[in-house]
Structure 1
Amino acid sequence: MKTPRVLSLCLVVAASLLVGLGPRKTPPNIIIILADDMGYSDLGSFGAEIETPHLDALARGGLKMTQFYNASRCCPTRASLLTGVYPHQAGVGHMVNERQHPSYRGMLNQNCVTMAEALKEGGYTTLMTGKWHLNSRKEEWPLKHGFDRYFGLLDGANSYFGNRPYRPNQKLTYALDEAEYTPGKDFYATNAYTEYALKFIDERKNKNNPFFLYLAYTAPHWPLHALEKDIAKYRGKYRKGWDVLREERFRRMQALGVVGPGAKLPSRAPEVPAWISLSAEEKKGWEEKMAVYAAMIDRMDQNIGRLRQKLKETGEDQNTLIMFLSDNGGSYEVIEGPEFTSEINEASKKPASDPASFTSYEYAGANLSNTPFRKFKRWEHEGGISTPFIAYFPGTIKPGSINHQPAHLIDLMATALDFAGVAYPSTYKGKNIKPMEGISLAPVFRGQKWAGHEALFFEHEGNRAVRKGDWKLVSMFPENKWALYNITADRSELNDLSAQHPEKVKEMETLYNGWATRANVVPFAQLLELDKQQKEKK
């Protein structure tokens, strides 16, 4: 009788032979790189003026998917990415707020299995560095969810230069494996995550086994913190202002085939004034913020280059599948008010290039990042849920490929297990596991026909959407009014067709309601009421 490890290898060899690629010596290493709060157009290969040569090289040598979706917010995306089910099914239907409801536990539940757990069963070494943000209780740390090694931030955000709580009575934790970690004086988070990833790759006990690396950068999530030598590259580059820069990005996106020739650039978001209406001081402040923001992405890209160099040095670059995406669209969030400490409120007024600052690029920066889409992180419009997606796998993915089919991060689990030749479990540690919602992207990567999803679903804080074929139905909380868009003709969601196609609205609303029941989604108004009742009981 074959062992699971041998059986997995046989499956991969057979699959390779079927597609005419020849047998691979071992199942591939699998690397998933996740950016944090990075907008759709923030990479050079997706239209940006930001220098991202290493990610652009992956795109040229691999595949770009232009209609890839996330779950519009940090925690739900991370839960869904790791489990292959929708966030509510994994227990993280909102954030890490702990509630007495199976869909809103604020941590992964026992009826899902992580990619690390599944791949570990198939003989993989499982590594993670970066942002966890799936509950910082010690019993929920990454090593409790299938990872062999971990270094990173357990919480949602922090200073890039050390440990700096930003909310009243807050405790933030960096961790190395199962111990708390104190950053040193030369610490810069983006570099540190990469350095530990390289260290973990070197320290693998059995280098004959493939590895899975989940590298979850915090860049470019606020606070805007970058190294001076990186900031210097971008000083003066944002002097044109957001109106001109959006136009320039949009033209590059069209030339790159990222958006179709019939796409339209919406007017700037209503929260953003005309650039010419700003004072010289206001313009200077935003230019400074954007220079730092660009530097953060640039530094992340440099570190991805370091990772690729390591793979070449170890001779593993030709047998490694790399996938890159962002957890949500650009963030409109403003750092000010009683939810932040007085020290942080003062720090938010400092220039972004000052290491003592604690700032964000707000609506104006997010509107540029999300070119040409509407809305931002947290909403289910394209600006909230669209991510640039790049996949690179020599010998499997044809260089320079581009795909416009809708796909979702629930597909990453299925894809990873498919290439690894590892079966998705129906039970794990005595618990029944929910069926995967995702579909393997292996046919897409191989340039073959991919049936894709009948429909994709979204819900966060009462904002809802369903995507089916060319059509998308979307609503915002608390208005709860459905709008209907033909995404193929109108990706920017400018022309609401709900009045012209009431039968399509009804059809897609029925689909959404069926999914919401199956995924155990609680309407957000009811969830807020439950929160109120829970607070009153205390």
Structure 2
Amino acid sequence: MSKPALLAFIICFFVSNNFAQAQKKQPNIVIILADDMGYSDIGAFGSDVQTPNLDEMAKNGLTLTNFYNASRCCPSRAALLTGLYPHQAGVGDMMNTRPQPAYQGYLNSNCVTIAEALKENGYQTFMGGKWHVGQAKEHWPLQRGFDRYFGLIDGANSYFENRPYRPNQKLTIALGNEAYTPGENYYSTDAYTDFAIDFIKQKDKSKPFFLYLAYQAPHWPLHALPQDIAKYKGKFMKGWEAMRQQRYQKQLARGIIDKSTKLSPLDEACRKWESLSEDEKQKWDEKMAVYYAMIDRLDQNIGKLRSTLKSMGEEQNTVIMFLSDNGGSNETITNTGFTPEILEANFMSPSNPKSFTAIGIEGANVSNTPFRLFKHWEYEGGTATPFIAYGPGVVKAGNKSAEPAHIIDLMQTCLDLAGAKYPAQYRGNAITKTEGLSLVPLFKAQKWTGHQVLGFEHEGNRALIKGDWKLVSEYPQNKWELYNLKTDRSELNNVASKYPDKVKELAKDYRHWADGAGVIPFEQLDKKRQQDKY
């Protein structure tokens, strides 16, 4: 071989070798979780709220249109963090402390978090935002694999201060393992991002990082900054019927939903917009302006994070995943579970930082377009979430998939990206086998095997998805309904009486799933809870 040819060969070898090593480099991984945000609440999924960062990520990344959560805050967070169904991780309901292991109210020792698993594989692990899977300090983020943490340990709070909203309640905003007192000009969405960015800037440059950024927004109370609210006042005076129709048409045009999908009727508990007085219309317009402003600010902070990654030269080696923990919430601040001060604050202007209110059933109907029902139920309105994956070096741009995937898939996805394996043991404890599948093939627009079944249960509400079919029931009626999601994703045509054999088949599959996941029928659990005074 001549000297020039030999030299060319050597150069080629080293270039290709370095390229291969670069390709094997562990990427940074960011999971961004919104709170109580419905299926249609960002621009890419039909909303007219300004979410340019998420919209750009959807355009230049992967959009999954059939992605599912676990229909409520605590269960979804437990499933996301562990790759298990919530009951398997010890959070089958909320953070209610119960004697049954599947319902103990905090992550158990037979699960491992994404942070714990990635930390074992060379990652630095950071978290900002809402924890909500264990209130006792021994169950806080630093005790579950995170190197650094700032956020809200509990389920909800004021965005401007630490403000308990139930009698004898203690809420904790924490930095690491210590309580943190917010100062002047505090706004939680900004603070979570700012601390997360500080963690990243101070990281060991020789290691990749995992960031779990669990925003509180747009969960009640409706709290936003004046400059963001001003963008949206007056934009909702056309009413909720028109707003749902507008979002539905955008979803059809963008291929977010199939053309066979019908817009569900307005919930029967909602009044007709034209029946409202002018004063009532103005109040609802202001509520929605604040709600939109919360999502707008969330998107602004995602942009701030992305700009930081770009300035640090990390953007090309970072994968970002975005989703919501459940469907839009119909909850209101009107029951006896709140303090008198908070019940009074419900009637203040939602633009007032001292107010404490929610968008209620009308806003949730808009939020969950085109689906029916809400957070807590296992219908699509409770479990469907927008999902976006973005990563210039990993995720194929302009990719969209209707493959049914689930929040339990994020654990295996993160491990696959990191080139790591799911552990059989951790700290001397046997670890329950993950139920999730890696989404990386979908990131690359490759064929994906997918799930044979997906199971759901929360406080007696149940569902099972198998192929095109969905079996679902509402507690306490406990009557199975059957829907063909391919032709009826909005669940408007119950065909249980037409296909009784299919109902029997899926009911058997549900029992098998529920037994494996550790589900206890809610009527039995609730009776046991009352007997034990939990």
Aligned residue in 2 for 1:288: 286
The CA RMSD over aligned residues, in Å, is: 1.1
Q: 1:254 to 1:532 in 2, by over 3 A?
A: same
Structure 1 residue aligned with 2:234, among 233, 236, 258? Answer: 236
Alignment-derived partner of residue 56 in structure 1: 55
What's the offset of the Cα at 1:422? 1.1
Task: Report matched runs for 1:28-67 at 5 Å.
Answer: 28-67=27-66
> What is the alpha-carbon distance in structure 2 between the residues aligned to residue 291 and residue 129 of structure 1?
26
| 2:319–2:394 contact (8 Å) kept in structure 1 | no
Residue in 2 that maps onto 1:24? 23
User: Per the alignment, in what secondary structure is the counterpart of residue 24 of structure 1?
Assistant: helix
Deviation at 1:21, TM superposition (A): 8.9
Partner of 2:9: none
Match of 2:255 in 1: 257
- How high is the sequence identity, in percent, across the aligned residues? 60
User: Equivalents in 2 of 1:241, 1:362: separation in Å?
Assistant: 14
| Aligned mates of 1:164, 1:266 — CA distance in 2 | 37
Alignment equivalent of 2:435, drawn from 434, 437, 441: 437
Amino acid of the residue matched to residue 485 of structure 2?
Answer: I
5+ residue gaps, structure 2, are 1-15
Task: Tell me whether 1:519 sits opposite 2:517 in the alignment.
Answer: yes
- 1:106 paired with 2:71, answer no
Cα distance in 2 between the residues matched to 1:426 and 1:22: 28
Residue 160, structure 1, aligned to residue 159, structure 2: yes
Alpha carbons 1:374, 1:381 under 8 Å: kept: yes
Structure 1 counterpart SS, 2:263: coil
| Largest Rg, 1 or 2 | 2
**2:20 & 2:162 partners in 1: Cα distance?**
48
2:189 maps to 1:190: yes
Q: Deviations over 1:20-78 (max 9, x none)?
A: 99842620000000000000000000000100000001001101000000000000000
The DSSP-based 3-state class of the residue aligned with 1:103 is helix
Deviation at 1:396, TM superposition (A): 2.6
For residues 158 and 135 of structure 1, the distance between their equivalents in structure 2, rounded to whole angstroms, comes to 16
1:107-164 superposed Cα distances (whole Å, 9 cap, x missing partner): 0011000000000000000000000001210101100000000000000000000100
Q: Deviations over 1:432-471 (max 9, x none)?
A: 0000100101111111000100000000000000001100
Aligned mates of 1:286, 1:235 — CA distance in 2: 10
Matched, 1:95 2:94: yes
- Secondary structure of the corresponding residue to residue 281 of structure 1: helix
Structure 2 counterpart of 1:255, which letter? A
User: For residues 457 and 510 of structure 1, what CA distance do their matches in structure 2 show?
Assistant: 12
Which residues of 2 match residues 259-408 of structure 1 at below 5 A? 259-408=257-406
SS of alignment partner, residue 316 of structure 2? helix
Task: Determine the C-alpha separation between the residues in 2 that align with 1:22 and 1:329.
Answer: 41
Aligned equivalents of 1:136, 1:442: Cα separation in 2: 33
The corresponding residue for 1:149 is: 148
Could you report, residue by residue, the CA deviation over 1:177-231 in whole angstroms, capped at 9, with x for unpaired residues?
0111000011000000000000000111x21100000000000000000000000
Contact preservation (8 Å) 1:21, 1:395: no
Is residue 73 from structure 1 mapped to residue 99 from structure 2 by the alignment? no
Distance 1:30 1:445 in 2: 14
Give the ranges of 4+ consecutive aligned residues of structure 1 lying more than 3 Å apart after TM superposition: 20-23
Corresponding residue for 1:6? none
Q: Within 1, Cα distance between the matches of 2:309 and 2:29?
A: 12
Q: CA deviation at 1:176?
A: 0.2
**In structure 2, how many angstroms separate the alpha carbons of the residues matched to 1:448 and 1:138?**
43
Please state how far the C-alpha of 1:267 moved relative to its aligned partner.
1.2
Specify the code of the residue in structure 1 equivalent to 2:229.
I
List per-residue Cα deviations over 1:245-279 (Å, max 9, x = no partner). 00000000000100111211111011111111111
Is 1:207 the counterpart of 2:197? The answer is no
Shift of 1:399: 1.4
Match of 2:498 in 1: 500
Is 1:177–2:192 an aligned residue pair? Answer: no
Q: Give the conservation status (yes or no) of the 8 Å contact 1:65–1:402.
A: yes
Output the amino acid matched with 1:59: A
1:225 aligns with 2:223: yes
Aligned to 1:472, the other structure's residue is in SS state strand
CA distance in 2 between counterparts of 1:408 and 1:22 reads: 32
Asked if structure 2 preserves the Cα contact closer than 8 Å seen for 1:21 and 1:396, the reply is no
Structure 2 equivalent of residue 424 of structure 1: 422
**Structure 1 residue 315: Cα displacement:** 0.3
Give the counterpart letter for 1:331 in structure 2.
Answer: S
Tell me what 2:13 maps to: none
Please list the CA deviations of residues 368-419 of structure 1 after superposition, one character each: whole Å capped at 9, or x if unmatched. 0000001100000000000000001113322111100100010000000001
Distance in structure 2 (CA, Å) of the matches to 1:98 and 1:388: 31
